[in-house]
Amino acid sequence: MNRADRQRVSGVRGGGLLLLVGVGVALAGCDFEVTNPGPIQEEFLNEELAQPAIVNGMGRALAQGMNWLAYTGAAVSREIHPAGSTAAFGIANEWAAGQLEPTDRILNTHWEQSSRARWLAESGVARMVELGSAADLLTQGRLWAGYANRLMGEHYCEAVIDGGSIQSREEYLNRAERYFSEAIESGTGNRRLAALAGRASIRMHLGNWSGAAADAAQVPIAFEYRIPYYSVGADDQRNRIAWASAGTPYKAHTVWNTVYEPIALSPENPGGDPRVEYSYTPGEVGDAAINCCGPVPFKRQRKHATDAASIRLSSGREMRLVEAEVALIGDNWQGALQIINEVRAYAGVDPVQAANAGETWTRLKRERGIELWLEGRRIGDLYRWNQQNRPGEFGALETPGGGSNLERQDLCFPIPPSERETNPNVPLN
């Protein structure tokens, strides 16, 4: 994040805290007239009462960053199909075609929101360490820092840290691993489990398979860790994936023409997989004609049923699939298939079959797609498997050609124009 971005982040954080303090004073005195005294002194952030607000701000920033990257990433990885509008909560024509161009100025927002989340979490954690903040708050801050770095490490082609030069995307992953490790040390209960699950997911990207398996084994299958969203009338508080398909007024994406459509729980398939549910009224179409196909059937995802629906960051079922992938790496495809079917049994769906390692890789790739559907994880998995040259096949509808309407499929987001034009350490081209 460049210097101007850091100044903007600081202003947002201070303004939010000032509002909280102003409201508290007004209520205490039964006088509802609030006067803005101007910029708040930084020393206020060192007060014990300010620490929960700082941590909450980290979480809200992460949720906003996820809103942008998870939605656009879902379109490019074909977890969803474009169904209409290209503005507001729509899918740009370039993204619909699978293109993430470094000249695309709309991608500035994705970068600014996710970079803001990372910076707020990291700087907040550093402040709390210096102040000796309570262990539970510090652990939560470290979790937000870990997940914010994972978000960027799973989505961006390269890393830039606080106005520095371009680095490998592994910089984000290494930072995430460090914050998750620190949260494991300081945390207890569900926060510690979330840190273990987060670190296991990072270690898969870094190729530390034994470490990933050791972390995953400590997380029970029933465990889930989520980030909340809110239906409060402010677009940046809503679950963007849900709001863009709410039908009031947006019908911007659909489950139609994806690999998930035929297996999903739906009016057309009442025995389908409940992890990929959609609703559909026959004859209903998206909110505009699209380049490839004209008006298309509006099959509304129901995983995130409302704009206040939370999104999972980690789960025990994901950890079992980590163990399945580790088994495949170790040439134990029979053990991997057994684990995959344990996850399916827990989800209430029938087992799958495979006759060899290649078929089991195909099953694993599909199972992770189903289990992590619309959680902002698919594009990172596709990138990882491509880089690691893993066997197994994908469905025709999630790769270029074969009816997907993807002209190509860019599996990571570029550093956008806003950073290139303001950071002297990053080349313009």
Going by pLDDT thresholds of 50, 70 and 90, the confidence category of residue 391 is very high
- For the cut 50, the answer to whether the pLDDT of residue 101 exceeds it is yes
**Residue 323 is part of a domain; what is its CATH number?**
1.25.40.390
* Residue 375: per-residue pLDDT: 98
Does the N-terminal peptide bond of residue 249 adopt cis geometry, omega within 30 degrees of 0? yes
Least confident of 33-47, 146-160, 271-285: 33-47
* Residue 349: per-residue pLDDT: 98
- 345 Cβ contact partners less than 8 Å away, ≥ 6 residues apart: 351
Going by pLDDT thresholds of 50, 70 and 90, the confidence category of residue 6 is very low
Once rounded to an integer, what is the mean pLDDT over residues 108-137?
96
The answer to whether residue 165 sits within a structural domain is: yes
Once rounded to an integer, what is the mean pLDDT over residues 87-104?
95
* Residue 85: per-residue pLDDT: 87
The answer to whether residue 196 sits within a structural domain is: yes
Once rounded to an integer, what is the mean pLDDT over residues 19-33?
33
DSSP 115-150: HHHHHHHHHHHHHHHHHT--HHHHHHHHHHHHHHHH
DSSP 404-417: S--S----SBPP-H
- For the cut 70, the answer to whether the pLDDT of residue 413 exceeds it is yes
Least confident of 111-115, 322-326, 420-424, 425-429: 425-429
* Residue 234: per-residue pLDDT: 74
Percentage of the chain modeled with pLDDT above 90: 84
Domain extent at residue 7: 3-229+311-401
How are the residues of the chain apportioned to helix, strand and coil, as percentages rounded to the nearest 5?
55, 10, 40
| Residue 168 β-bridge partners | 158
- For the cut 70, the answer to whether the pLDDT of residue 21 exceeds it is no
Q: How far apart are CA 165 and CA 141, in angstroms?
A: 26
Once rounded to an integer, what is the mean pLDDT over residues 177-183?
98
Percentage of the chain modeled with pLDDT above 70: 89
SS (H, E, C) 360-384: HHHHHHHHHHHHCCCCCCHHHHHHH
The H or E element containing residue 168 is strand 166-168
The answer to whether residue 247 sits within a structural domain is: no
- For the cut 80, the answer to whether the pLDDT of residue 5 exceeds it is no
The answer to whether residue 412 sits within a structural domain is: no
* Residue 50: per-residue pLDDT: 79
- As given in the structure block, the two tokens for residue 116 are 């803001």
The answer to whether residue 372 sits within a structural domain is: yes
Going by pLDDT thresholds of 50, 70 and 90, the confidence category of residue 302 is very high
Which residue has better confidence, 308 or 35? 308
- As given in the structure block, the two tokens for residue 81 are 């199909």
Q: How far apart are CA 60 and CA 429, in angstroms?
A: 32
* Residue 136: per-residue pLDDT: 96
Residue bearing tokens 């050609």: 401
The answer to whether residue 8 sits within a structural domain is: yes
Q: How far is CA 108 from CA 1, 31, 62, 96, in A?
A: 12, 42, 16, 18
Nearest CA to 265 out of 257, 256, 277 is that of 277
The answer to whether residue 251 sits within a structural domain is: no
Nearest CA to 76 out of 411, 385, 365 is that of 411
- 326 Cβ contact partners less than 8 Å away, ≥ 6 residues apart: 209, 210, 212, 213, 216
Q: How many CB atoms lie within 10 A of CB 3?
A: 11
Nearest CA to 361 out of 398, 333, 382 is that of 333
Domain count, the chain: 1
Nearest CA to 77 out of 419, 426, 411 is that of 411
Per-residue pLDDT tens over the stretch 29-57: 334 344 545 555 565 566 767 789 999 99
Once rounded to an integer, what is the mean pLDDT over residues 255-259?
98
The H or E element containing residue 311 is strand 311-315
* Residue 43: per-residue pLDDT: 59
Per-residue pLDDT tens over the stretch 334-388: 999 999 999 999 999 999 999 999 999 999 999 999 999 999 999 999 999 999 9
The answer to whether residue 95 sits within a structural domain is: yes
* Residue 39: per-residue pLDDT: 57
Handedness of CA 372, 378, 383, 385 (dihedral sign): positive
- For the cut 90, the answer to whether the pLDDT of residue 88 exceeds it is no
Helices (H) and strands (E) in the chain, counts: 14, 8
| Residue 278 β-bridge partners | 301
Mean residue pLDDT of the chain comes to 90
The two beta strands, 81-82 and 253-254, are antiparallel
Per-residue pLDDT tens over the stretch 322-342: 999 999 999 999 999 999 999
Once rounded to an integer, what is the mean pLDDT over residues 188-213?
98
Q: How far is CA 245 from CA 81, 280, 315, 423, in A?
A: 11, 12, 25, 36
Q: How far apart are CA 31 and CA 20, in angstroms?
A: 15
Q: How far is CA 241 from CA 105, 120, 184, in A?
A: 21, 24, 31
Nearest CA to 176 out of 159, 151, 209 is that of 151
- Residue 40 is classified by DSSP as P
